[in-house]
Amino acid sequence: MATLQTNAPRIVIVGAGYGGLAAARRLAGPSRGRYNVTVVDQHDYHLLQFELHEAAVGKITAEALALPLRDLVRGTGVRFRQARATSFDFADRVVQTNEGPIPYDILVIATGSRTATNAIPGVREYALTLKSLDDVLRLRAAIAAALARAAHANMDVARRALTFVIAGAGMTGVELAAEMAERLPEMAEAVGLSRHLVRIVLVELSYHILPGWDAEMVAYASAVLQALGVELYLGARVTAVEPGQVHLASGEVLAADTIVWTGGVQACAEVAASGLKTGERQAAVVDATLAAPDHPDVYVIGDAAFIRDPRSGRVALPSAQLAVEQGKAVAANIHAALTGGQPQPYVPRAAGWLVSLGGHAAVGNVGPLRVWGPLARLLKTGSELRYLWMLGGPRLMLARGLRLHTDYRPVRGLLALGRRLALST
């Protein structure tokens, strides 16, 4: 364990998500002991968000997605404090939290995002969301309740109970729709219902799913979803949600007991209220080095930041992948600023984008290469395992990776082989 110097600059990172943890690990690594690095998070776990949809349908346990933060920082020299930041006092360099004030010399805001309801009436009250561990548990409970209700009801009630409307066909909506379509019919059969009673409806404002994605990839993803039985409602604007009803601008009303809103994200409320200049998604505008303008000791990264690619002017997508890159970049810039070096402009660079379409297919690109089908799914799983390796080395990757991917054919095969070997000895 590194010795923390009491007079070392205090670097406080609020948010132990993808960006915050990457920044903390980089700052603690080569400069071990040089800085007092504290990570503050409202939870005592790091959430593997990109597998939330799998936990929502019960493919993996929700707990498997929560990595204890104290374990992750053990031996790194990073200090962890569980507290919820309530406001930022930039003049006095203090983060106010529900556990008392935390002073800093350098602050990194990495508080991520929350679901944006786009001020549509009823979304907040009557739709479920998919962003947190609580959301997963609520959606799982809703699915279980719907199945139980349908099992003891007449046909009309059963149909409505087993209709699931997902509003928003970006990555989260598409991944969730595919998992539900793959899993729920089996679950219905398991309680004695016809699998054909399950109806998954994916509603999207654009005239195609995955807005902003390449047309061929969209066509492939749409075909896979439709083969799984997902009904696509495209060019459909949701105007209101009521209990059991989704109202569309066309006048059509979709009746469904379970409605999930996946229509986008916006920065957390504390960022919006911080007084920092904000852009789209209420995210904080940053300069080229990821520092907040007029606050050279405050940096903002990940979904909380509004970043443009200096080459194309395009807005960087809120994503785990870019949050990690920004965490590393901000660590290098803080180190440079504190040691008389030259902070470097951050340029968003994504290795590729992959969207899963159930357990056996995905689509996307890796660099200039388009990938789809089982190969893309393998690459997607590989990228998740790689992330676990980065966080906790081969041990975490193996331990969590197997827990997270027990449903994945190669892992199932590996586990079956292990069991056979164990039984034969």
Ligand X SMILES: Cc1cc2nc3c(=O)[nH]c(=O)nc-3n(C[C@H](O)[C@H](O)[C@H](O)COP(=O)(O)OP(=O)(O)OC[C@H]3O[C@@H](n4cnc5c(N)ncnc54)[C@H](O)[C@@H]3O)c2cc1C
- Cβ at position 176, least distance to ligand X in Å: 7
Contact 23, 331 (CB under 8 A): yes
Alpha-carbon dihedral sign for residues 112, 263, 51, 387: negative
Residue 85 touches ligand X, criterion: CB under 6 A: yes
Of 8-16, 196-204, 247-255, 283-291, which part binds ligand X (CB under 6 A)? 8-16
| Torsion from C-alpha of 342, 343, 348, 354, nearest 10 degrees | 110
Contact 270, 85 (CB under 8 A): yes
Q: Which residue of 110, 146, 162, 180 would you call a contact of ligand X, by CB under 6 A?
A: 110
**Between 80 and 233, CB nearer to ligand X:** 80
> Cα–Cα distance between 350 and 367 in angstroms, integer?
8
> Cα–Cα distance between 227 and 156 in angstroms, integer?
25
Residue 180 touches ligand X, criterion: CB under 6 A: no
Q: Which of residues 249-268 bind ligand X (CB under 6 A)?
A: 268
Residue 130 touches ligand X, criterion: CB under 6 A: yes
Q: Say what angle helices 133-151 and 171-190 make with each other, to 10 degrees.
A: 40
Q: Which residue of 4, 10, 13, 18 would you call a contact of ligand X, by CB under 6 A?
A: 18
Taking CA atoms, 229 is separated from 146, 258, 360, 362, 398, in Å, by: 19, 17, 15, 16, 34
**Between 351 and 415, CB nearer to ligand X:** 351
Of 10-18, 209-217, 222-230, 363-371, which part binds ligand X (CB under 6 A)? 10-18
Closest CA to 109 of 221, 269, 314, 246: 269
How many chain residues touch ligand X (CB under 6 A)?
Answer: 36
Residue 96 touches ligand X, criterion: CB under 6 A: no
- Cβ at position 258, least distance to ligand X in Å: 17
Q: Which residue of 31, 36, 38, 49 would you call a contact of ligand X, by CB under 6 A?
A: 49
Residue 290 touches ligand X, criterion: CB under 6 A: no
Residues 6+ apart with CB under 8 A from 66: 43, 45, 46, 47, 48, 133
Pattern 336-355, ligand X, x by CB under 6 A = --------------------
> Cα–Cα distance between 155 and 51 in angstroms, integer?
33
Residue 16 touches ligand X, criterion: CB under 6 A: yes
The SS3 assignment for 304 reads: helix
Of 13-21, 140-148, 156-164, 281-289, which part binds ligand X (CB under 6 A)? 13-21
Contact 336, 328 (CB under 8 A): no
Q: Which of residues 24-43 bind ligand X (CB under 6 A)?
A: 40-43
Q: Write out the residues near ligand X by the rule CB under 6 A.
A: 14-20, 40-43, 47, 49-50, 52-53, 84-85, 110-112, 130-131, 171-172, 175, 268, 270, 302-304, 318-321, 323
